[in-house]
């Protein structure tokens, strides 16, 4: 049977600019068609007023300076003033409209990404570095906005402006216009070559910059370990190496991107010098009024900027599309643990958990559980003990379907959890991990995450049962005290008791405890153990025990080794068994426990 636990992996896409552009438009165009329509109208006004300014220059030169028609000067100046005012307002409106649409698109994809990440399995996050993932998302999410905005502004402003100015140039002198466009094909071929080279370099740059941000974030999060182990020099060398590679890649992108400058400038220089030479010849030897020439040159100079932006469009789009494509690689990941079509809500009676011949490995090349069989009886406490690597934490991960077994069944009250909805399954489970995690917000917020609809009274009652109420009231703002990033302002024992309070307020029939006291000092362990005793009352509990002294009162102890059950029974029965694994583990820990008591 295929390993269903294998995590989702992003597929590196090779979609073209056109493919990505079509998808972006399909997903966002309809919702913003009105806004884009208004932006296009505003940009068209910008294009037309720009072309009008060039077109009227013939009248300015011929009528005002050559023919000296004073009666037309006021009309000409007034029309130019109106054109500039219209262009100013049109520029303002299109900028505001496109900014609002762009901000909405970024917010939409941020929400969509967050929602999609929540749907992916735990395996995906186990295989992905969280810092790198966060950096990649923050860098790339604006790519989709940029793809649309660049397309709209280039088509509606630059392209329309260029067409209108070309029309002015043709109306003034079609021969000069042909001279201008004589060198256009070589320029386009050169820009196409640059854009192809830029595509791969941009993707590499994005990934390297994500690694830089990820490495910095990890250093900040683990700063105490960095300082304690004097890792500064090692990490500095590592990060500086990544930064150097990112710098080199960015420099290569700059060299590629800016190659368009000499191309376009050479094109402009050739075209303008050719036009000036031809116009000067006609004016000197043909006696033609200079108005049309000035109008043509004005249109040509005004056309230079939109033409240059359009020439660079594919290069700019390549960079934006790389960002957008990397976001789509995440969004296109199909969750491997979606509810099955026949999935029903879990119905819990006494919450008996049964493992039947369960096989599991985190990858296709390893096997952690090898035909695991045991039953955790409803309303009782079942402890999992054994040496490191026996598979205890894996068992805890399989019950809420963080992963799916490769073979076998996991049943709750006779219902295969693979055929129930994950929402109903996890609603029936409360979980306390070895390393409690607190989220940004207040103490009350963190307890309420166990059950969002819980009242303040229920939250405080859960805190009392978790022996957390007193230390909470001792905080500066009581239950409204901010906990800081991951509860940095609280001790390990306090964080763990808040984690237990969060589990208690959930009021779930099944409680999973993953070595909840192993990282605590003796005093904190005693306080947390009291809280756990309260939490375990009347529930089906599966607990991983690092210290066997914490599970002597368990109804059943499952001894695991090498992914299988090797012993099962009560503490006393297993401790009295000669040559048993549990008896050996118990004897190893007993001297340490006695030493601790004597020290007290």
* pLDDT over threshold 90, residue 374: yes
* pLDDT over threshold 60, residue 5: no
Q: Among 303, 331, 359, which residue terminates a domain?
A: 331
- For residue 94, count CB atoms less than 10 angstroms from its CB and return exposed for 0-12, middle for 13-18, buried for 19 or more: buried
- Supply the angle between the helices 33-55 and 142-153 in degrees, to the nearest 10: 40
Quote the pLDDT of residue 526: 73
CA 7 to each of CA 407, 445, 565: distance values in angstroms, whole numbers, following the listed order: 17, 31, 27
| Residue 98 and residue 116 share a domain | yes
For 81-107, what is the mean pLDDT? 89
Rg of the chain in Å (alpha carbons): 35
Residue 54 CA to residue 69 CA, distance in Å, equals 19
pLDDT digits (tens, 9 = 90+) for 224-265: 677 776 778 888 888 888 888 878 877 877 777 666 667 767
The answer as to whether 469 is a domain residue is no
CA-based nearest residue to 177, from 56, 61, 267, 275: 275
CB neighbour list of residue 350: distance below 8 Å, 6 or more residues apart: 377, 378, 379, 413, 540
The answer as to whether 149 is a domain residue is yes
The answer as to whether 465 is a domain residue is no
For 385-398, what is the mean pLDDT? 89
The answer as to whether 7 is a domain residue is no
What CATH number is attached to the domain comprising 589? 3.40.50.300
Kindly indicate the confidence band of residue 2, based on its pLDDT and cuts at 50, 70 and 90: very low
| 27-49 exposure pattern, b = at least 16 Cβ within 10 A, e = fewer | bbeeebeeebebbbebbbbbbbb
| Whether 541 contacts 513, CB under 8 Å | yes
For 422-431, what is the mean pLDDT? 90
Residue 347 CA to residue 427 CA, distance in Å, equals 11
| Residue 402 and residue 549 share a domain | yes
Quote the pLDDT of residue 554: 86
CB neighbour list of residue 542: distance below 8 Å, 6 or more residues apart: 353, 376, 382, 384, 395, 396, 399, 510, 511, 512, 513
| Residue 404 and residue 325 share a domain | no
Quote the pLDDT of residue 13: 52
Strand order in the sheet with 540-544: 429-432, 510-514, 540-544, 381-385, 556-561, 564-569
| Residue 316 and residue 357 share a domain | no
Quote the pLDDT of residue 66: 65
pLDDT digits (tens, 9 = 90+) for 392-409: 989 999 999 988 898 999
* pLDDT over threshold 70, residue 449: yes
Number of domains within the chain: 2
Phi and psi angles of residue 569, each rounded to the nearest 5 degrees, phi first: 160, -170
| Whether 406 contacts 1, CB under 8 Å | yes
The answer as to whether 485 is a domain residue is no
Domain that holds residue 362: 339-428+515-520+540-600
Q: What angle do CA 369, 370, 371 make, to 5 degrees?
A: 110
DSSP 363: S
pLDDT digits (tens, 9 = 90+) for 282-299: 767 766 667 777 787 788
| Residue 277 and residue 348 share a domain | no
The answer as to whether 37 is a domain residue is yes
To which residue do tokens 């819990």 refer? 348
Length of the chain: 600
Quote the pLDDT of residue 515: 75
Q: Which position has the higher pLDDT, 487 or 460?
A: 460
* pLDDT over threshold 60, residue 58: yes
| Whether 436 contacts 449, CB under 8 Å | no
For 527-535, what is the mean pLDDT? 73
CA-based nearest residue to 303, from 340, 275, 262: 275
Confidence (pTM): 0.69
Beta bridge partners of 511: 430, 541
Question: What's the chain's average pLDDT?
Answer: 80
pLDDT digits (tens, 9 = 90+) for 189-231: 666 666 666 666 666 666 677 777 777 777 776 776 777 767 7
Q: Among 300, 331, 362, which residue terminates a domain?
A: 331
For 176-185, what is the mean pLDDT? 69
Q: Among 331, 363, 394, which residue terminates a domain?
A: 331
Per cent of the chain over pLDDT 90 is: 17
| Whether 327 contacts 117, CB under 8 Å | no
To which residue do tokens 């077109």 refer? 55
| Residue 167 and residue 67 share a domain | yes
| Residue 247 and residue 357 share a domain | no
Q: Which position has the higher pLDDT, 376 or 297?
A: 376
For 341-354, what is the mean pLDDT? 91
The answer as to whether 107 is a domain residue is yes
| Residue 346 and residue 317 share a domain | no
Which pairing describes strands 556-561 and 407-412: parallel, antiparallel, or unpaired? unpaired
pLDDT digits (tens, 9 = 90+) for 104-149: 888 888 888 888 888 887 777 776 666 667 766 776 777 778 888 8
pLDDT digits (tens, 9 = 90+) for 33-47: 898 889 889 988 988
| Residue 344 and residue 323 share a domain | no
Kindly indicate the confidence band of residue 483, based on its pLDDT and cuts at 50, 70 and 90: confident
Quote the pLDDT of residue 187: 63
| Residue 353 and residue 373 share a domain | yes
| Residue 383 and residue 324 share a domain | no
Least confident window among 159-173, 279-293, 423-437: 279-293
Kindly indicate the confidence band of residue 529, based on its pLDDT and cuts at 50, 70 and 90: confident
Quote the pLDDT of residue 344: 92
Quote the pLDDT of residue 152: 82
The answer as to whether 265 is a domain residue is yes
* pLDDT over threshold 90, residue 173: no
What CATH number is attached to the domain comprising 138? 1.20.1560.10
Q: What angle do CA 262, 325, 186 make, to 5 degrees?
A: 25
| Residue 146 and residue 99 share a domain | yes
């Amino acid at each position: 049977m295929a390993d269903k636990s294998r995590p989702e992996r992003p597929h590196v896409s090779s979609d073209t600019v056109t493919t990505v552009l079509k998808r972006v438009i399909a997903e966002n165009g309809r919702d913003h068609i009105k806004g884009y329509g208004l932006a296009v109208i505003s940009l068209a006004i910008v294009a037309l007023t720009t072309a009008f300014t060039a077109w009227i220059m013939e009248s300015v030169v011929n009528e005002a300076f050559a023919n000296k028609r004073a009666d037309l000067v006021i009309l000409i100046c007034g029309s130019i003033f109106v054109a500039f005012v219209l262009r100013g307002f049109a520029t303002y409106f299109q900028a505001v409209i496109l900014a609002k649409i762009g901000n909405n698109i970024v917010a939409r994809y941020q929400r969509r990404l967050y929602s999609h990440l929540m749907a992916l399995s735990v395996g995906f996050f186990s295989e992905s570095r969280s810092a790198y993932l966060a950096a990649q998302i923050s860098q790339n999410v604006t790519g989709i906005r940029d793809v649309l905005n660049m397309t709209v502004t280039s088509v509606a402003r630059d392209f329309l402006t260029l067409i209108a100015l070309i029309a002015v140039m043709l109306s003034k002198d079609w021969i000069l216009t042909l001279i201008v466009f004589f060198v256009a094909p070589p320029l386009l071929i050169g820009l196409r070559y640059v854009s192809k080279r830029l595509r791969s370099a941009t993707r590499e740059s994005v990934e390297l910059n994500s690694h830089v941000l990820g490495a910095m974030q990890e250093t900040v999060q683990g700063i105490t370990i960095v300082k304690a182990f004097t890792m500064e020099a090692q990490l500095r060398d590592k990060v500086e190496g990544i930064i150097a590679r990112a710098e080199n890649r960015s420099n290569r992108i700059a060299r590629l991107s800016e190659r368009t400058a000499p191309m376009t400038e050479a094109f402009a220089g050739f075209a303008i010098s050719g036009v000036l030479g031809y116009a000067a010849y006609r004016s000197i030897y043909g006696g033609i009024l200079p108005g049309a020439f000035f109008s043509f040159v004005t249109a040509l100079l005004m056309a230079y900027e939109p033409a240059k932006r359009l020439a660079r469009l594919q290069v700019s789009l390549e960079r934006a599309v790389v960002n957008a494509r990397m976001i789509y690689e995440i969004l296109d990941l199909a969750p491997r643990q979606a509810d099955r079509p026949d999935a029903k809500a879990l119905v819990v009676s006494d919450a008996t958990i049964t493992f039947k011949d369960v096989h599991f490995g985190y990858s296709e090349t390893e096997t952690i559980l090898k035909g695991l069989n045991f039953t955790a009886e409803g309303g009782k406490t079942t402890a999992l003990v054994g040496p490191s690597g026996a598979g205890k934490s894996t068992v805890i991960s399989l019950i809420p379907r963080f992963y799916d077994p490769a073979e076998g069944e996991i049943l709750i009250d006779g219902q295969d959890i693979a055929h129930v909805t994950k929402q109903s399954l996890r609603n029936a489970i409360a979980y306390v991990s070895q390393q409690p995690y607190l989220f940004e917000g207040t103490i009350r917020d963190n307890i309420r995450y166990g059950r969002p609809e819980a009242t303040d009274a229920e939250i405080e009652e859960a805190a009392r049962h978790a022996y957390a109420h007193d230390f909470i009231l001792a905080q500066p703002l009581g239950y409204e005290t901010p906990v800081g990033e991951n509860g940095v302002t609280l001790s390990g024992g306090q964080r763990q008791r808040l984690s237990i309070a969060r589990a208690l307020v959930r009021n779930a029939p099944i409680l999973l405890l993953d070595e909840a006291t192993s990282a605590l000092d003796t005093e904190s362990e005693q306080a947390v153990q009291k809280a756990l005793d309260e939490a375990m009352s009347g529930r089906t509990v599966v607990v991983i025990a690092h210290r066997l002294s914490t599970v002597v009162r368990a109804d059943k102890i499952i001894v695991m080794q090498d992914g299988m059950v090797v012993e099962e029974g009560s503490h006393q029965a297993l401790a009295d068994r000669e040559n048993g694994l549990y008896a050996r583990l118990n004897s190893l820990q007993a001297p340490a426990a006695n030493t601790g008591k004597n020290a007290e």
